[in-house]
Amino acid sequence: MKKLKLILLTLLGLLVGQLEAQDGYTYTLIDNGAYSYSIAAVPNASASNFATSVQSYGFTIIVPDGVTLSITSSIGSSASPTFFDGGAVGMPAIDGYLITETLGSPVSLPAPSAATTTPIITIQVNGTPITGMMYLLANNSTLATTVTPLKSFMQADMIDDAMFAFTNVVDPSASGLSGIESHMFTTLSVDEIKEELLEFSMHPNPASDIVKIEVPKGIKDIKIEVFDTLGKQIPINLSENNTINVSDLSSGLYLVSIITKETKMTKRLIIY
């Protein structure tokens, strides 16, 4: 009986160790300034001290229609961007890049226990767009679910077993994203955006039916624009009391732009 318990405890310890070793990664978007951005790998919380070995990776970045990108690998020598026209997938307001790279030899990332965010590629936006949104495509989004090659992945070895076994460590069923996922192009500076965000508010948020838009006293003639995460504008009417009815919207994340004569600012609204 004691022998059986010992075997069970040993197997349980091995299983727990494997679960910890197989903690995966998500991707995040970093704004470097001057229309330069990085896409970085973020390790899930883990106690594993074994350095991750990456063999290949891929993800999709969505941009407003007509916006182009120059892409440089941060861990290899040749990230491969494949451009696609949003019109080909029924979304003429967007374009996209599927970015992949198979490394000549595996590259080591810091052990997950170090909680280090590692830049994978650098993106330079060509020109200076002032409207629209750039964002990482979530694996559980409608577009990624419909066109599965657009899903993000990372083939990596995270198991300390003296063997090289490269498996996908980005969850294909969840979003695969964390932290900052999008960037709104605007003529406002970062400080101006922060200042405006303090003055405008929406509540409740998350919401399921009526959302109240609060603006500073004296500001009149506001209008709103609502977009889903694919950049599609959603028809919404603003009432005389500065409320919007979102009861017909599907659950998810939306971007609400509040526009006055002086400025425009955007906030996130979650519908449940």
| Domain residue extents for the chain | 2-184, 190-271
DSSP 180-249: --EEE--SS-HHHHHHHHHH-EEESSSBSSEEEEE--TT----EEEEEETTS-EE--PPPTTSEEE-TTS
Question: pLDDT of 102-155, one tens digit each?
Answer: 999 999 999 999 999 999 999 999 998 877 889 999 999 889 999 999 999 999
For residues 144 and 137, the answer to whether their CB atoms sit within 8 Å is yes
Predicted local distance difference test score (pLDDT) of residue 132:
80
Predicted local distance difference test score (pLDDT) of residue 186:
67
Predicted local distance difference test score (pLDDT) of residue 198:
52
| Predicted structure pTM score | 0.66
Question: pLDDT of 146-179, one tens digit each?
Answer: 999 999 999 999 999 888 899 999 999 999 999 8
Predicted local distance difference test score (pLDDT) of residue 183:
82
Report CA-CA distances (Å) from 218 to 34, 49, 101, 240.
Answer: 34, 57, 53, 15
For residue 74, give the nearest of 114, 34, 27 by alpha carbon.
Answer: 27
Percent of the chain with pLDDT over 90: 48
Mean pLDDT for 244-258 is: 87
- Here the tokens at position 161 are 């077993």
Specify the fold of 190-271. Answer: Immunoglobulin-like (2.60.40)
Question: pLDDT of 37-88, one tens digit each?
Answer: 999 999 999 999 999 999 999 999 999 999 999 999 999 998 999 999 988 8
Please classify residue 206 by burial: count the beta carbons closer than 10 Å to its beta carbon, then call 0-12 exposed, 13-18 middle and 19+ buried: exposed
CA distance 186 to 133: 9
For residues 76 and 164, the answer to whether their CB atoms sit within 8 Å is no
Predicted local distance difference test score (pLDDT) of residue 201:
81
DSSP 41-82: EEEPS----SPEEEEEEEEEEEEETT--EEEEESSSS--EEE
Would you say residue 20 has pLDDT above 80? no
For residue 204, give the nearest of 251, 244, 166, 160 by alpha carbon.
Answer: 244
